[in-house]
């Protein structure tokens, strides 16, 4: 039971890190990326 829950959490974590990596990649292409991100 806990193993299924762990796998679910791990999948969600991997999805979240992939999403963050996409956001970072988009912001590195934008010269004002980090500043605009912090202002949000």
**What tokens appear for 21 in the block?**
């990596």
pLDDT tens digit sequence for 1-40? 789 999 999 999 999 999 999 988 887 776 665 555 555 5
- Please report, for residues 6, 31, 32, the alpha-carbon distance to residue 15 in angstroms, rounded to integers and kept in the order given: 14, 26, 25
pTM of the model as a whole: 0.50
Contacts of 26 (CB under 8 A, 6+ apart): 33
What DSSP string describes the chain? -HHHHHHHHHHHHHHHHHHHHHHHHHHHHSTTHHHHHHH-
Q: How high is the pLDDT of residue 9?
A: 95
**What tokens appear for 12 in the block?**
């969600």
């Amino acid at each position: 039971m806990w193993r299924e829950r762990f796998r679910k959490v791990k999948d969600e974590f991997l999805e979240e890190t992939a999403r963050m990596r996409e956001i970072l990649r988009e912001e590195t292409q934008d010269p004002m990326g980090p500043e605009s991100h912090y202002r949000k």
